[in-house]
Amino acid sequence: MPSKIPDGATRGWIIPIGGAENKENDRHILERFVKVSGGSDADIVVIPTASRMAETGPRYERLFTEIGAARVSSMDFDTRRDCHEPGRLQRLEEASGIFFTGGNQLRLTTLLGGTPVAKLIRIRNAHGVAVGGTSAGASILSEHMIAFGDEGSSIISGSVRLAPGLGLTNRFIIDQHFRQRDRLGRLLTALAYNPFAIGIGLDEDTAAFIGPDETVEIEGSGGVTVVDASEVTFSSMDSVSEGQPVCMLGLKMHMLVAGATFNLHTRLAGAAALMPPKR
């Protein structure tokens, strides 16, 4: 469950990124992550556990250092025993920003789920620390996580498997590489199981910066598909066999781009300001 925000405190930013964020030319997403983590005073811990590539952690260390963070450390977890080490917990206590890389989200939940590290990250976010992640690192941020599922645009019973995520919030379900991998159907199927949550489908090189006031701000070159199932009037999920299509009536969908917003509390979307015509 999400940690309680202390009286007088504000929750830290939650930043899911759809994967393949620009790391070379326009690093606007990563730059803003550093900014909300403290800017030139940012102290960032990178957790590359989802990836099995040895260079992943050092690469993000270099990127965040080049952008201007004051201190960046990579902290991998190979066993659940690692999640109990006092030195690692102390380093997370010091951080102003925590970033999960891409890879395999089930590797993250298998190694970190239910450990002191997972609990501490929830607590630190509730106390104001920014927590973000890209691709698999985005999927795990919420309470309900898409572990895997089929591609396609149809809602199909049994086509998605959900698992417990990190639990920073229970307000949304994330899916990443959204348009590139044709994942509308699996996000809608996940919402058919859990219509309380908001579905957020993130294209590559696109991020949802979710502020302490529950406002989602879109950054990046792609789009974000927001699906609100709270006003669904009918769902056949409970009556169809596995592998069969599901009927859902009353879904509400928004297509957002950079500058647009969505409030997770009021469930109202706002358009990006129109750019002046080029001369």
Q: Is residue 19 part of a domain?
A: yes
In the residue annotation, 37 being an active-site residue is answered as: no
Q: Is residue 198 part of a domain?
A: no
Q: Is residue 279 part of a domain?
A: no
Q: Which domain holds residue 127?
A: 14-153+162-176+203-222+255-264
**What SS3 class is residue 260?**
coil
Q: pLDDT tens-digit profile of 66-101?
A: 999 999 999 999 999 999 999 999 999 999 999 999
Strands (E), 12-111: 14-17, 43-47, 71-74, 97-100
Q: Which of 21, 61, 204, 219 is catalytic?
A: 204
Q: Is residue 238 part of a domain?
A: no
Q: Which of 37, 51, 96, 135 is catalytic?
A: 135
Query: Does residue 279 carry a pLDDT above 60?
Result: no
How many domains does one find in the chain? 1
- pTM for the full predicted model: 0.96
Q: pLDDT tens-digit profile of 28-64?
A: 999 999 999 999 999 999 999 999 999 999 999 999 9
Q: Is residue 62 part of a domain?
A: yes
Q: Is residue 236 part of a domain?
A: no
In the residue annotation, 204 being an active-site residue is answered as: yes
Q: Which of 96, 143, 157, 177 is catalytic?
A: 177
Q: Is residue 72 part of a domain?
A: yes
CATH number, domain containing residue 67: 3.40.50.880
Q: Which residues contact 148 (CB under 8 A, 6 or more apart)?
A: 106, 160, 161
Query: Does residue 1 carry a pLDDT above 90?
Result: no
Q: What is the DSSP letter of 245?
A: B
Q: Is residue 146 part of a domain?
A: yes
In the residue annotation, 177 being an active-site residue is answered as: yes
Q: pLDDT tens-digit profile of 117-171?
A: 999 999 999 999 999 999 999 999 999 999 999 999 999 999 999 999 999 999 9
**What SS3 class is residue 203?**
coil
